[in-house]
Amino acid sequence: NAGVTQTPKFQVLKTGQSMTLQCAQDMNHNSMYWYRQDPGMGLRLIYYSASEGTTDKGEVPNGYNVSRLNKREFSLRLESAAPSQTSVYFCASSESTGTGGTEAFFGQGTRLTVV
Amino acid sequence: GQSLEQPSEVTAVEGAIVQINCTYQTSGFYGLSWYQQHDGGAPTFLSYNALDGLEETGRFSSFLSRSDSYGYLLLQELQMKDSASYFCAVDNAGNNRKLIWGLGTSLAVNP
């Protein structure tokens, strides 16, 4: 069981460069998420996708774009990286717990440094 | 606005019991979840409470009081491996079912 797989695990970018973070889940979940986590901070939602073909902005969407390619894959793109985007990025997918709630499953994270 | 509050740090000794509180103020509420995150790792799901009361899963228990907008995670028989950050998260009742996260509590378990 792979769960949620995101690539790459580490990346260093120069200011102004672009890159795409890839995420795939094999649990047949409808909902997928991209978060960023900064030192001493909780998780901040960048974008959310409730189903294939739909995306929604989260708390901190500026500087990012996303694409829900199909039910399995949800990618995050940085068009012009800035040092403020240095962070750890987590992809997640979720399913209902059966009692109306949500259980999220996370990838192992991408540690991105923008210099 | 929507917010969750939890203590930033808690310290305890092996074998002890620790309680991590979480108070929330959100526009909607389906339930309260708890996640554990070790340094350098990904958050992992611990528990979920939709109804008032205590849910027990091994050494970990979680409590919810909807009327008080309050919950806690109780860790018993603490072990060194329990040293991690613990996050509470509210399952928002909005259509998108987005989780709203607290800032996390860093638990240090000392010998």
Establish whether the linkage from the previous residue to B7 is cis, with ω within 30° of 0: no
Q: Which residues pair with A88 in a beta bridge?
A: A37, A111
CA angle (A12 as vertex; A11, A17 as ends), nearest 5: 105
Average pLDDT for A20-27: 96
Using DSSP bridges, classify how beta strands A10-13 and A110-114 pair: parallel, antiparallel or unpaired: parallel
Which among A111, A45, A27 is positioned nearest to B89, based on CA atoms? A45
In one-letter notation, the amino acid at residue A79 is E
End-to-end Cα, chain A, rounded Å: 36
Q: Which residues pair with A73 in a beta bridge?
A: A24
Alpha-helix runs per DSSP H in A1-115: none
Q: Is A42 on the interface with B (CB under 8 A)?
A: yes
The CB density around residue A9, as the number of other CB atoms within 10 Å, is: 10
Average pLDDT for A23-46: 91
Q: Tell me the count of A-B CB pairs closer than 8 A.
A: 69
Q: Which of B97, B100, B106 is the best substitution to test chain A (most A C-beta atoms within 10 A)?
A: B97
Residue A112 has pLDDT above 70, yes or no: yes
Which among B10, B7, B8 is positioned nearest to B75, based on CA atoms? B10
Residue B99 pLDDT: 83
User: pLDDT-based confidence at A1, cuts 50/70/90?
Assistant: low
Nearest CB among B33, B35, B104 relative to A101 is that of: B33
Residue B2 pLDDT: 80
Q: Is A50 on the interface with B (CB under 8 A)?
A: yes
| Mean pLDDT for chain A overall | 92
- Count the helices and strands in chain A (H runs, E runs): 0, 11
Average pLDDT for A58-84: 96
Average pLDDT for A2-30: 95
CA-based nearest residue in chain B for residue A33 = B98
| pLDDT averaged over 10-residue windows placed end to end, chain B, 111 residues | 91 97 90 93 92 93 96 97 96 69 95 94
> Residue A3 in contact with residue A26, Cβ under 8 Å?
yes
Residue B7 pLDDT: 97
Residue A22 has pLDDT above 80, yes or no: yes
Residue B35 pLDDT: 96
Query: What are the tens digits of pLDDT across the range A93-108?
Result: 987 665 656 788 999 9
Task: Verify whether the Cβ–Cβ distance B33 to A103 is below 8 Å.
Answer: yes
Q: Which two tokens stand for residue B12?
A: 């305890």
